[in-house]
Each structure stands twice: as C-alpha cells, then as structure tokens.
C-alpha cells in the first residue's frame, strides 16, 4: 500500500501596524501548493486583512499557482494568511547506478538546430545563469569533486548533495536573502536557500539542468512537547533532470531525497521565481514582516494539547 500523509498548512505573513499608513502596495504570492502526481491539493485559499484589495489568481510561467494582490487605498498593517490542505504520497526512489553517465546527459543538452521533444526543452530552461544563481569556474570545480568521469548522473548528484550536507554548516545568522552563492561556497555556512542555490549553481556550471524547489518540510518537536504553532519555516531543495527518470529531487540541507515529509509549493530557476511573497510598498515605515508557518499532519489535529505561539523571521 502506498504511504500517504495529509497535512494542514498555515502560512501567515504580517506587516505590523506602525502608525504611518502605506498608500499603495502590490504583491506577488506563491503560497498555495502545486497539484502534482504525488501531491493532491484538497483545499487552498488566501485571506488578506484589511480586505480592501484586489486579488487575481492564476499560474506563473512555470505553471505554479500564483496570486497578484494590489491594495490601492491607504492601510496601516497587512496580514496575508494562506491555508491549504494537501495529501503527499510516497515516491519510489530511483536507482542511481542505472542512470546514464553525466557527460552523456550534458552533451545531449547542447544546442542543435533541430526539433527537441517537450521534456528536453523544459530541462533546457534550467541550464543557464539566473538572477540569484551565477555560473563560474569555481562552482564547476566544486562540482568536479564528485562528478568523476563516467559516473552515473544520479549517483553523482546524490554525492554532491551529501558533500554539501557533510561539509557545510546550517547557520541562520551567516547569510541574508541576497548573499551571493560564491560567498556561501567560501564561508561554508548558510540556510536551506543557500544550499539549494549552491547545488544548483554547481550543476549548471558543468552543463546540467537543475531547478529550485520551494515548499515546506515537516519538522518534529522535542520528545513529549507539543508542536509549536508558527515555528516552522519555508524550505528549499533541488531537482535534477535525468532523461530516464525526469526530475529527481535532493535536499542538501538534510542529506535526503524528498518524500512524504516535503510539501511542494512550486519551482523556478531560483528563489526569486518562487518567493512566497514579494512586491512593492509605497509609504509607511520600513518594517520587516513577521512570518509564521505551521505544518501539521492531520493525525495530530485530534486531541492535540494547547500549543505555544512562537514567531520566527522569514527564511
């Protein structure tokens, strides 16, 4: 029987009232999980307070659910609350040794003036530099530590994931959203976004397509303690394209391949394509938003003890 886990996900972003109204704000929201063959979305909605804006829902260029929010009347403070219910099914792991040599995959993606099938064309979108992911010789050299000649693509990708997991330190204070990948490589510290960007940059620098995965990861509270409401955060990992298997996912922050504990919001070239919330604000004061995320398995909803509310900054 296929293993499945159902989750309720609450993601709140709040700009606190500061006494100086914002005259206008526009936001791009990636807050509703994407339906996938292994992920069913039963419910998803976004609530905005104050309820005086215009919101249009649709899909972005990568097929992710997206909402465009515009508030063109003065407002002091803003709360964007997204609530979703999804069921994630286990996926069979691929055999790394059965994948083709990585050089063969690289060579198949080089430009040729001839028609390409849809899967190959989609993979080629993720070959190049993007706003937050550069390509350079240092990143190629980093990948070359595990991408030996003739090594199967997925075996090498897994080795790269484990190399990052074992030799880099998770440190929430070491980087910011705008920290360059080269600095992460030099300092060997960062958060999930940094490790995903680093792995993608290394793969692309040797000619392999990789995309940025955005979503959530179920985390466990300490033994005997209730799950803290609002204490989770957004998560990021990587997908690598293999001609025999399609997109295969890796989580370099945790050294695992995503399974039922990972909930997918969507994907893009880098964080900028699928940031949960970004936009433009005119007026008001420069106040950092507070982000609260809770990922709860349905089994915990019954007879759950009262939880403690804790606020965390954006990842």
For residue range 143-168, what is the model confidence (pLDDT) as tens digits?
A: 999 999 999 999 999 999 999 999 99
Q: Pick 96-273's CATH classification: 3.90.550.10, 3.10.620.30, 3.40.50.720, 3.90.1150.10.
A: 3.10.620.30
Query: For the residues of 191-236, what is the DSSP string, one character each?
Result: -HHHHHHHHHHHHHHTT--EEEEEEEE--PPPTT-PPPBTBB-EEE
Same fold, 4-90+275-300 and 96-273: no
pLDDT above 70 coverage of the chain, percent: 93
pTM reported for the whole predicted model: 0.91
pLDDT at 315 > cutoff 80: no
Closest CA relative to residue 154, chosen from 90, 240, 213, 251? 240
Assign a CATH topology to domain 4-90+275-300: Immunoglobulin-like (2.60.40)
What is the domain partition of the chain in residue ranges?
Answer: 4-90+275-300, 96-273
pLDDT reported for residue 114 = 78
pLDDT reported for residue 200 = 98
pLDDT reported for residue 228 = 63
């Amino acid at each position: 029987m296929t293993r499945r886990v159902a989750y309720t996900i609450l993601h709140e972003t709040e700009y606190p009232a500061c006494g100086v109204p914002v005259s206008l704000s526009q936001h791009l929201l990636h807050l509703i999980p994407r339906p996938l063959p292994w992920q069913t979305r039963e419910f998803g909605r976004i609530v905005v307070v104050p309820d005086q804006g215009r919101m249009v829902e649709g899909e972005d260029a990568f097929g992710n659910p997206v909402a465009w929010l515009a508030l063109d009347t003065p407002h002091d403070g803003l709360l964007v609350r997204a609530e979703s219910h999804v069921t994630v099914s286990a996926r069979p792991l691929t055999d790394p040794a059965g994948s083709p040599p990585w050089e063969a995959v690289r060579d198949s993606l080089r430009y040729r003036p001839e028609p390409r099938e849809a899967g190959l064309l989609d993979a080629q979108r993720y070959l190049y530099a993007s706003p937050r992911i550069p390509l350079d010789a240092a990143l190629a050299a980093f990948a070359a530590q595990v991408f030996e000649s003739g090594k199967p693509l997925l075996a090498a990708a897994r080795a790269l994931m484990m190399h990052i997991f074992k030799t880099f330190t998770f440190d929430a204070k070491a980087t910011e959203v705008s920290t360059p990948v080269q600095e992460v490589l030099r300092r060997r510290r960062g958060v999930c976004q940094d490790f995903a960007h680093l792995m993608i940059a290394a793969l692309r620098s040797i000619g392999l397509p990789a995309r940025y995965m955005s979503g959530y990861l179920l985390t466990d509270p300490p033994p005997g303690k209730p799950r803290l409401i609002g204490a989770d955060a957004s998560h990021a990992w990587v997908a690598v394209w293999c001609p025999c298997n399609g997109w295969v996912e890796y989580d370099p922050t945790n050294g695992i391949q995503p399974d039922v504990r990972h909930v997918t919001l969507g994907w893009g070239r880098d964080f900028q394509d699928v940031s949960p919330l970004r936009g433009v604000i005119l007026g008001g004061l420069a106040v950092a938003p507070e982000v609260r995320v809770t990922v709860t398995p349905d089994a915990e909803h019954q007879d759950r003890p009262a939880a403690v509310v804790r606020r965390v900054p954006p990842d």
